[in-house]
Structures are given as structure tokens and as C-alpha cells.
Amino acid sequence: MLDGIPLVLLLAAAVGFIIVATAKLDLHAFLTLLLAAYGTALFAGIDPKKAASLVTDGFGSVLGYIGIVILAGTIIGTALERSGAAIVIAETILDLVGEEHTTEVMAITGSVVSIPVFCDSGFIILSGLNRSLAERSSLSLATLGVALAGGLYVTHVFVPPTPGPIAAAAIVGADVGLVMLAGIVVSVPVVFVAAKWADTVASKYHIDPAPETTMEDIKEEYGTLPSRAASFAPLLVPIALITLGSIASYPEAEDPAFVTGALQRWLLFFGDPAVALVIGSFVAFAAVPEFTDEITEEWVTDGIESAAVIIAVTGAGGAFGNVLGALPLKDFVSNAFGGLGIGLFAAFVIAAAMKTALGSSTVSILTTASLIAPLLGPLGLATQWGKVFAVLAIGAGSMTVSHANDSYFWIITEFTDMEAATAYQAWTLATLALGVTSILWISVVQSAVQMLV
């Protein structure tokens, strides 16, 4: 099997192939990612039989986690749009904040939702609202899509109870409460950087929101729009359930003084993203002014059809990522960067290398934390606050960068009608800017804390 520099060159060639095939040759991302997965495995020297199983296992494992979430999420989005609920939500938000702040509102909304909810689930849940706000405020879908994705991404890597930062804190021995506090402090300005990037860069790429249903269509069909409570419920109910599930998954939740074992198990069940979004699908039907079996069956069918391409591309991205995970990239990165004596930046560089190579932010966080843990002393990060900022530096690296081997990249492109070529410029470069901004801001905050303590 290839190792070292030849393996890195093969990885670069695979990523280059994906970019050229999708952006220049207009080959569908599903086929492109599968070709890249098979080709990378075979050229790396993996046994052909194992290469085939790596691709199918990777495809299945990703969809096992996200498949129902995508399907239920698109059903919710379809119901919100067809019932007019998305229009009511958009009107309510813009009445409160004004159209001039739409981008910031989308980024902030994403950052709040992503604290208890995975960023990919959050993006799916909010994609219908994102489209309606873009239509209502006359903004490109790319602008609000990148703002939402950026806001979700930032707190996903910095603020517990997202599993990545919690696990990293446990591995390096950092206090979870301090990680949460410092993560929020770090996240706030970075979220606004995401909004600014969306306004200045992503806005250059116009994507028509093209909602299928207008306010006039709804009023002609039903004579009225749904209430605000009925409109917001399909979004808030799943988010609330997932939040409760996150709370119940805390180690402290095992203490009988916190909650009984039976209640904890039920909270974990209803808080599972797939279960929560299925419930949200039924809640969405309650927003229909005139409920009929024919309407719900048609909407469910349309939602499933809309999800088909998204599921296929996401699964193919998981297949490619699974192949990369089977290669000895971790050893190479560890040997290349593990001895750097540059404190926080060593953690950032290693995590960024892992993220770029493997695609998954969570895998990048966990792997880097394991590599950094024995190096905390030499890196000058063995103090209580040093460990906290090590976790945050790892999180910053795990954003840098999101591209073709990241399933989140494909969820964003598919739910915003964004071409791959556009996504590389509007989103991939955004994650580079967010990652670099984050590590610089983290170093500033660390210096301030060191002066105070």
C-alpha cells in the first residue's frame, strides 16, 4: 500500500479529479465520487475485493446515520412550503429584524441551532426557511445558504454538547464547562465573519430560490395562511427534542438524581435526529389549513423524490471518505506535524490536515486530540486553560477545509441548488477563511486569559 509522499500525491490527484470532473466536465457528483473512491483505493494498493467493500460500507454507513434525516427533512421542507408556513416564518423574522439583516439572522440562527443539533441535520431542518427568506428578501440562495452553513459549522466544532468538542475535551483532559464558555466567546465573531463572507463573496453567485408555491397560491388554495405557532412548530419541535436528547446524553444524566433511567432512555429515543425529524414531519402536516390524505401523500412523495439525489450524492461522499479513512494518512500527518513546537498552531495544522484529507470534522477532532494529548507538555498547553484552547484550536482546524470528501459539502450544494464549481469558491474558501480567522482569534483570547489568570 502507498505511504508517505506518494499517498499524499494520490490524494491530491483524487481531489483534483473530483474538482475537474464536476466543475469542468459536468459529470454528476454521484458518479464522480464513486469513481474517485474506487480509483483511489485501487491505485493506493488496496486489495480489489476490500476496495469494493470499503465503497459500499462507506456508502451505507453514512446513509445509516443521515438517510432518514434527509428524507424526513425534505418532507418537512415540502410541507412548510406547500402549506405557506415557510412564508409565515420568513415574514415574521423579517418583520422583527428588517431585510437588511437577513444574512446575519441566518448565520446566528444556524449557530444557535447547531449547539444541540448536528450541522448537517440543522441545515436540512432550516433549508426550507432559508429558501423562503432568500425569496422574501430578494437575496441569492447562495448568500443565505453559505451564511446558514457557516453559522451551523462554527458552533458545531466549538461548543458542546456537539460530540466532537466533548470528546476532544475528554481526551485531552479539559473541563467541558470551560470549553463551552470559551467556545461561545470564540464563536461569536466568527459567526459574523461567516455572514460577512456570504454577503461579499457568496452573493456574487446568483441562485434563484425558485419556491414552487407563492403566497398568492396558498391564499387561492386555502383562503388563508397558517398561524405563526403552526408554522414554527415543525422547526422548533425537532430542535427541542434533539436538545433534550443531548442533555440526556450528558454523563451527569446517568445520575438518578438528574433523571430516572426510564425517562432518560425515552429522551434519548425522541432526541435521536431521525426520530425527531419524523415527528417533525407529522407536526408539519398540522400547518395545513385543510388537511387531506391526498395532500399529505402527495407531499411525502414529492419530498422523497427531492431527497433521492441528495441521498445518492451524500452516500457517495461517504464512500470516498471511507476509502480515505482506510489509508495510512493519520500516521503520515502525525509524523509530519507532531513535532512542531508552535503551541496552538500545531493542533490547528494537524486538525486541518486531517480535515482536508479525511473529510469528517468529527473524525478530525477525535484523531487530532489523540495525537495532541501526549504533546500538551512540550507544546505548552498542559495547564487547565491550555487544554481548553487546545480543544478550540483543534476545532478551528477541523473546519479547514470542507470540500468534495465532506458529506456536509454535498448537503449544502444539493439543498441550495449550488453547482460544485460554485461551492468550491463560495463554501470551500469560506471554510478556509473561517478556520484561519478562528485560530487567530483563539490565540488572541488565549493571550488575554493568560494575562488575567
| pTM (predicted TM-score) | 0.71
At 209 the pLDDT is: 87
Give yes or no for a contact between 49 and 24, defined as CB atoms under 8 angstroms apart. no
Alpha-carbon torsion (231, 418, 240, 108), positive or negative = negative
**Once rounded to an integer, what is the mean pLDDT over residues 149-172?**
85
**Dihedral over alpha carbons 26, 416, 199, 157 (to 10 degrees):** -100
pLDDT for 255 equals: 54
Looking at residue 253, what is its pLDDT? 52
Give the pLDDT of residue 319. Answer: 85
Across 72-109, b (16+ Cβ under 10 Å) vs e yields: bbbbbbbbbbbbbbbbbbbbebbeeeeeeebbbbbbbb
| Domain coverage including residue 208 | 4-452
Q: Is the pLDDT of residue 247 over 80?
A: no
Average pLDDT value for residue range 30-35: 88
At residue 124 the predicted structure's pLDDT band, cuts being 50, 70 and 90, is confident
Ramachandran sector of residue 228 (left: φ over 0; alpha: ψ -120 to 50; beta: rest): alpha
In this predicted structure, the answer to whether residue 161 has a pLDDT above a threshold of 70 is no
Statement: residue 252 has pLDDT above 60: no
Looking at the 3D structure of the chain, how many domains does it have?
A: 1
Q: Which residues contact 383 (CB under 8 A, 6 or more apart)?
A: none
Q: State what percent of residues in the chain have pLDDT above 70.
A: 88
Q: Per-residue pLDDT tens for 362-406?
A: 778 877 787 777 778 777 788 989 999 999 999 999 999 898 888
Secondary structure (DSSP) of 337-377: HTT---THHHHHHHHHHHHHHH--HHHHHHHHHHHHGGGTT
- In this prediction, residue 317 carries a pLDDT of 74
Residue 426: what pLDDT? 96
pLDDT (average), residues 19-47: 86
Q: Which amino acid is at 110?
A: G
pLDDT at 249: 73
In the predicted model, what is the mean pLDDT of the chain? 83
pLDDT at 438 over 90: yes
pLDDT, residue 220, reads 67
In the predicted model, is pLDDT for residue 330 greater than 70? no
Check whether 260 has a pLDDT greater than 80: no
